[in-house]
Amino acid sequence: MDLYDFTVTNIDGQSVSLAQYRARVLLVVNVASKCGFTPQYAQLEAAYRKFQGRGFSVLGFPCDQFGHQEPGSEAQIKDFCERNYGVSFPMFAKIEVNGANTHPLYRYLKAACPGVLGSESIKWNFTKFLVARDGLPFKRYAPADRPAALEAQIESLLA
């Protein structure tokens, strides 16, 4: 099993097979519009623009499980991201990343790349998973890890 086995719903409500990202390096992030880490959208977009031509993409998954920091509808989230941060990377429908209703993609990512002390739960918004070209999760990053600080690791996977 790899990331390409999953189907998700994009922010416009359409079903998307992640197989369309085959052979790309991916940064999968649970995002929120009203979080202290929300300004990371700017760095996520910058990394996307810098590396997309070399086979890189950011995949944003809004989540409202942490402090009700993503209360809006998909249309409101899309508008916020485009208007405030010029987000052009793929965004998806709101999902749950913890608990009984954890999206299967996140169940897979968390099992493949556990966090501190082997914990699988997502601690907060803007947890990041770097996925190699083979569709296998490579590394998990904490919410405080700035996207700009991941560029060397992204470069190495693109090489």
Residues in the chain: 159
CA distance 93 to 35: 18
From the candidates 35, 63, 81, 113, which is the catalytic residue? 35
Q: Is residue 113 annotated as part of the catalytic site, yes or no?
A: no
| DSSP string over 85-153 | H---S-BB-----SSTT--HHHHHHHHHS--GGG--S--STT-EEEE-TTS-EEEEE-TTS-GGGGHHH
CB count in 10 Å sphere of residue 54: 12
Hey, which residues are catalytic here? 35
